[in-house]
């Protein structure tokens, strides 16, 4: 039952879905991709941000995207504190920090889940905004506005982060710390402070990403579990630390998922991300856009 229209539909919605995946993965691309911090709590931070957006929308009627921007500074400070705690208790202590670091972030993720359940209950929550629930009609095709919002925000976020990392002093310092921490120390800079700053940015971008998450679909406290695999898949496939690579990898993933879902059946859709990841790693171990080290 092949239909060209259906394929075109799938490609368009895949690009939009991919942009959404990019938006929720960009922070992880910074923390895991550039800083080597095994931040498996990234999706839990994301869901926490969504609840922040929900709170502002529900209590004060603030637009979800604006609410996302409003909580960004709080998330930045949260990231600074979280990294300092991680550094003092784990990273500082030596070579097996990676494995223990994963345990640390898993622990944080569970604590966040429980706190969200205690505060907001187990029910799913959603937000209201004029662009949710409506679609843009082009010919026979209808594109949900909420996915168009995700597309625009993901593109803007990628451009901003790329510019920040390449044009500003702090951005270049972050890339330097990713390349050679010791060399940076010899130049008289404190790599830990720079990493802390970068980790803060990686959680700060979750303000707007969390807004997108709750705009695209309702959230519940354990939603983070669905995103651990997807976000890590995007970041690793992109090649660790490449912002534009993250966007492209996420779009490839989104399109592949959408085509499989529309043409072959929804059951196969989640398998596609990991199949593609394995394929990419077999051919290009450094990821699609990563440099060979």
Partner 1 sequence: MKRRTFLGGTIAVTTLGLTSSAGAQQPPIKIGMSMALTGGLAGGGKASLLGTEIWRDDINARGGLLGRKVELVVYDDKSSASETPAIYSKLLDVDKVDLLFGPYATVPTAPIMPLVKQRGMVLIGNFAFQVNSKVGHDMWFNVAPWGPPDSWAASFLELGQKAGGKTIALLAADQEFAQNMALTARDVAKRMNMPIVFDQSYPPNTVEFSGIMRALNAAKPDVVYVASYPPDSAGILRAVNEIGVSGNVKIFGGGMVGLQFGAVMENLGSLLNGVVNYNSWLPEPTMYFDGTKAFFETYAKRAVEAKVDPLGYYLAPFGFASGQLIEQAVKAAGSLDQKAIAKYLRENVHNTIVGPIAFSADGERKETATLQAQFRGIVDKNMEQFRSSGKQVILFPAKWKSGELITPFEAARN
Residues that bind partner 1 (CB under 8 A): 1, 3, 5-6, 9-10, 13-14, 17, 20, 121-126, 128, 132-135, 142, 144-145, 147, 216-218, 220, 223, 225-226, 258, 261-263, 265-267, 269-270
* C-alpha distance from residue 293 to each of 10, 57, 177, 179, 240 (Å): 36, 45, 15, 9, 11
Nearest distance, CB of residue 122 and partner 1, angstroms = 6
Of residues 179 and 226, the one with the C-beta less far from partner 1: 226
CB of 37 closer than 8 Å to CB of 92: no
Nearest distance, CB of residue 8 and partner 1, angstroms = 10
User: How far is 72 from 49, CA to CA, in rounded Å?
Assistant: 9
Nearest distance, CB of residue 2 and partner 1, angstroms = 10
User: How far is 250 from 16, CA to CA, in rounded Å?
Assistant: 10
CB of 76 closer than 8 Å to CB of 201: yes
Torsion of CA 277, 38, 16, 8, to 10 degrees: 10
Nearest distance, CB of residue 227 and partner 1, angstroms = 8
Of residues 120 and 164, the one with the C-beta less far from partner 1: 120
Nearest distance, CB of residue 230 and partner 1, angstroms = 9
Of residues 240 and 258, the one with the C-beta less far from partner 1: 258
Nearest distance, CB of residue 150 and partner 1, angstroms = 10
Of residues 204 and 255, the one with the C-beta less far from partner 1: 255
Question: Nearest CA to 109 among 37, 23, 48, 22?
Answer: 48
Nearest distance, CB of residue 271 and partner 1, angstroms = 9
| H/E stretch holding 128 | none
Of residues 66 and 228, the one with the C-beta less far from partner 1: 228
Burial 220-249 (b: 16+ CB within 10 A, else e): bbebbeebbebbbbbbbbbbbbbbebbbbb
Of residues 89 and 124, the one with the C-beta less far from partner 1: 124
Of residues 3 and 168, the one with the C-beta less far from partner 1: 3
Burial 129-145 (b: 16+ CB within 10 A, else e): bebbeeeeeeeeeebbb
Of residues 95 and 130, the one with the C-beta less far from partner 1: 130
Nearest distance, CB of residue 107 and partner 1, angstroms = 20
User: How far is 119 from 138, CA to CA, in rounded Å?
Assistant: 42
Residues 6+ apart with CB under 8 A from 207: 49, 52, 53, 68, 69, 70, 71, 72, 74, 75
């Amino acid at each position: 039952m092949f239909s060209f229209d259906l394929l075109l539909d799938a490609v368009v919605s895949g690009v939009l879905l991919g942009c959404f995946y990019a938006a929720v993965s960009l922070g992880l691309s910074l923390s895991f991709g550039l800083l080597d911090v095994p931040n498996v709590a990234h999706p839990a931070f994301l869901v926490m941000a969504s609840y922040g957006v929900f709170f502002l929308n529900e209590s004060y009627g603030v637009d979800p995207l604006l609410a996302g921007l409003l909580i960004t500074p709080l998330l930045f400070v949260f990231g600074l504190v979280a990294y300092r705690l991680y550094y003092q208790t784990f990273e500082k202590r030596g070579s097996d920090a990676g494995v223990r670091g994963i345990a640390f972030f898993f622990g944080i993720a569970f604590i966040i889940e429980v706190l969200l359940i205690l505060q907001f209950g187990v029910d799913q929550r959603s937000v209201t905004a004029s662009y949710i629930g409506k679609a843009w009609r082009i010919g026979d095709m209808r594109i949900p506005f909420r996915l168009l919002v995700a597309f625009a925000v993901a593109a803007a976020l990628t451009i901003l982060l790329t510019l920040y990392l390449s044009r500003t002093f702090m951005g270049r310092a972050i890339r330097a710390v990713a390349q050679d921490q010791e060399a940076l120390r010899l130049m008289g800079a404190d790599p830990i402070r720079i990493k802390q700053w970068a980790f803060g940015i990686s959680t700060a971008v979750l303000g707007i990403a969390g807004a997108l998450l709750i705009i695209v679909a309702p959230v519940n406290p354990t939603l983070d579990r669905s995103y651990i695999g997807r976000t890590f898949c995007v970041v690793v496939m992109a090649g660790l630390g490449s912002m534009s690579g993250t966007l492209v990898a996420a779009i490839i993933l989104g399109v592949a998922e959408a085509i499989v879902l529309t043409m072959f059946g929804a059951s196969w859709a989640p398998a596609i991300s990991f199949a593609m990841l394995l394929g990419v790693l077999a051919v290009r171990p450094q990821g699609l856009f990563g440099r060979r080290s």
